[in-house]
A and B are shown apart, each in its own frame.
Chain A
Amino acid sequence: MIALTADTTFMSWLDSIGPLHGWAIATAVVVSACCAIVGTPLVVRRMSLLGDAISHAVLPGLVVAVLLGAQPGGIGVLVGATAAAMVTVWFTRFLYRQAGLWEDASVGVSFTTLFAAGVLLVTISGSRVDLDPGCVLYGILELVPFDTVDLYGWDIPRAFLSASFVLLLVSCGMWCTWRWQLFTAFDCDAAKAAGVPTVAVTVGLLVGVSLATVAGFVAVGAILVVAMLVVPAAAAERLVHRLHHAVWLAVMIAVVGAIGGYLLAWRFGTSAAGMMAVVLGVEYVIAILVAPDDGVVARLVSKLVYLWRVQCEDRLASFWRAEESGYARHESTVGGLVDRWLRVNGQVQKQENALVLTPQGRVNAEVIVRSHRLWETWLGRHVDLPVDHLHPPAEWIEHHLGEQVRKRIENELGNEDVDPHGSVIPREKR
């Protein structure tokens, strides 16, 4: 019964979204998938800014192609935009090599120039090009469903068709050249030496980027395509370590961003493209927070775990030292989280209102104290430190010395069994 209710609300919700929104969402999904596929190698190869430049620079190619009579959303536009992207790459390299400009400055010069040329062409050519400067900047995803072509009796939006074509092209290309892409991405010089045509691989990747950019251009505009190219890839490569996993994850992140962004934009009455970029940004923030190896949360947790371990070990060692100096440690209250934790773990036990070490706890504590005193002895012998300066470094390193290191230090020291302060170094227990 509950399932049925949920189902009906879902269906009615879908009804209220309607086929028009459905087409817009489908287009956005296909476009984001294209961008994520080519964006991942781009980010890994530190070419994100070239992607930025290309996405700005396809505009003049697009406009010139339309002025020359290509159909918007057709093959001619794809060719024109790819040509413009290649011009950008060439211009950037030209500025870098010939004009002696810095790398970032040459990217900055080339993309602003080409984008300016594109905007000026759009403005001057007026009604002959069916683009307005606003659309150039943030796309017309909302209008995509209204421009349809008739395909075997189905009215399919033109933008969706061309985006699907690009998706097919890009994923096939990626699939066929995957090993080369992988090799080039991680070690371009080695790939070259091994006979991989690295230049062709790079050019192929850039062609893929420009195709994806053109597909995305109509939907989300020039600048927000950058978000689709870079953000999902950057988020994915924080979360997983293998490139093909990163590609799949990037595609998923991009799809979630597209759908979520569109629905939120519809709910709040804002630009869909802008909202998609915002959702992608939120996803990126989540990714850097929860990244397993170097995420903010992971680092915080490992730091806390470490601090906790140090606290427990210090406490255990203090019990041992108290025992050594001859009096059992009296505690009026059992209080303290550390003591409780040690009791729960069976390292200490309660005896007549006092805490004493269990046999297991005694062994563990001895290891700590042994590490501490071995290190003090070693420092005292090999490093010219006054005796009262030996304690702090040993207090730190006692938590880090493993069994093998302790063994080697012991061999090195010979049969020294008293530390510089005159305390006995406990023996290793088997």
Chain B
Amino acid sequence: MIHLAFVMAFLPYNTLVVASGVAAVGCAAGVIGTFGVLRKRALVGDAAAHATLVGVALALLVTGQRNLAVLLVGGLVSAMVAIVLLVLIRKFTRTRDDAATAIVLSVSFGLGITLISGMVSRGIPGSGGLERFLLGHTASLTANDALLLGTVSVVGVLCIVVGLKEATMVAFDPDFAAASGWPAATLDLVLIALIAVMVVVGLPAAGAVLVTALVVIPPAVARQWTERLIPMLVIAGLVGFLSALSGVVISSLAVQVPTGPVVVLVATAFLVLSIFGAPCRGILWRTRAVSSLSSEFLTKTEVGVATPTGTERRP
């Protein structure tokens, strides 16, 4: 931690702002992703992420300016279109859900690649830089871009904080929510839209291919540590924050390294540590608990009390 602070002190102002903006994105993606994962929508986010490329390319083609906000709005629109298509395929055809996800994901990505490569080969100004949306490249962000990303993230988290009760309802039991008079379908839609927004603002940090990790891995880490929602949200936010921050710092030190892979690997390191070491659910913990339980069980049966849980039943 001291080492990190030391590095931060020597970073230029721009990098500092970018780092905090992207870290805010990581935090918000962790929080909102928790609901996505609980609702079993992890890979819907992935399909949306791959589809953003189409919108980003079209936004550049139509407006002709390389303003990050414009590109991201384009990405958001195409992500929402992809989600709608996914829902339509699931509803109106007998294609299996997983195949539908894979189809939307790969075909929209193909369309994005086609558009970008066509624009590059026609020499449309600014189209060369679009490739940084594939794997993420925070080194090219300006302070203003980072402020935009940070603001959107804060607003996203505020939405969740304000609608915590509704979101919880819909995430855990949409049928019950609908039955007790909540507008469950609308809330579900808002939740999906929030995930799409997070995927889009995560683009500069992790790129279209890997941004889904920002909304999946932090909740997975948090799941290892707690059984309750609010601690889970806090832990997921924290893990997202730390992974995004370290991604930016490392890629600002080694410029040719794309940010996305670094962010993902840091988050996965957290996950692996948690799977082994987390209290109660961690593998090490469980192994110890099982061995102590079985030894207890053996001693108990030796003295003739055959209760597997080790608690004597009284008449």
Contacts and interface: CB of A to CB of B under 8 A. Distances in A.
A and B form one complex? yes
Interface in A261-281: 265, 268-271, 273-278, 280-281
Interface string B93-111: 1111011111101110111
Nearest to B286: A98
A268 B118 contact: yes
A307 interface: no
A119 B110 contact: no
B121 interface: yes
A231 B213 contact: no
A320 interface: no
A101 interface: yes
Given A112-B216, A223-B109, A281-B107, A107 B117 contact: no
Interface stretch (B16-24, B155-163, B257-265, B288-296): B257-265
A99 B224 contact: yes
B109 A224 contact: yes
B194 interface: no
A186 to B, nearest CB: 14
A277 B224 CA distance: 38
Contacts of A101: 220, 223
B213 A112 contact: yes
B118 A269 contact: yes
B103 A281 contact: yes
Nearest to A117: B265
A281 to B, nearest CB: 3
Contacts of B309: none
Contacts of B265: 113, 116-117, 120
A343 interface: no
A280 B216 CA distance: 29
B223 A100 contact: yes
Nearest to A134: B131
Interface residues of A, number: 61
Contacts of B89: 288
A277 B107 contact: yes
A133 interface: yes
A36 B93 CA distance: 20
A32 interface: no
B49 to A, nearest CB: 10
B114 A265 contact: yes
Given A112-B216, A238-B93, A294-B94, A49 B110 contact: no
A355 B92 CA distance: 43
Nearest to B266: A116
Contacts of A120: 257, 261-262, 265
Contacts of A133: 134-135, 258
A107 B41 CA distance: 12
Contacts of B260: 116, 119
How extensive is the interface on chain B, given as a class? Answer: 35 or more
B43 A271 contact: no
A311 interface: no
Interface string B117-160: 11001100000000100110000000000000000000000000
A133 B271 CA distance: 26
Given A100-B223, A238-B94, A270-B118, A226 B102 contact: yes
Most buried by B among A100, A124, A226: A226
A46 B213 CA distance: 22
A230 B113 contact: no
B112 interface: yes
A108 B268 contact: no
Interface in B186-242: 209-210, 212-213, 216-217, 219-220, 223-224
Interface string A87-105: 0000000010011111011
Given A49-B43, A100-B223, A277 B99 contact: no
A369 B92 CA distance: 36
Nearest to B271: A109
B40 interface: yes
Given A119-B135, A238-B93, A109 B110 contact: no
Contacts of A100: 223, 281
Contacts of B112: 274
Contact of A276 (B46, B110, B134, B283): B110
A227 interface: yes
B256 interface: yes
A137 B134 contact: yes
A57 interface: no
Given A230-B99, A238-B93, 13 more contacts: A49-B102, A52-B106, A95-B220, A105-B37, A107-B43, A109-B220, A112-B212, A116-B213, A119-B258, A119-B261, A274-B110, A278-B107, A294-B93
16 contacts: A49-B98, A99-B271, A102-B40, A108-B212, A108-B213, A108-B217, A109-B216, A112-B216, A112-B268, A116-B265, A123-B261, A234-B96, A271-B116, A274-B114, A281-B107, A291-B93
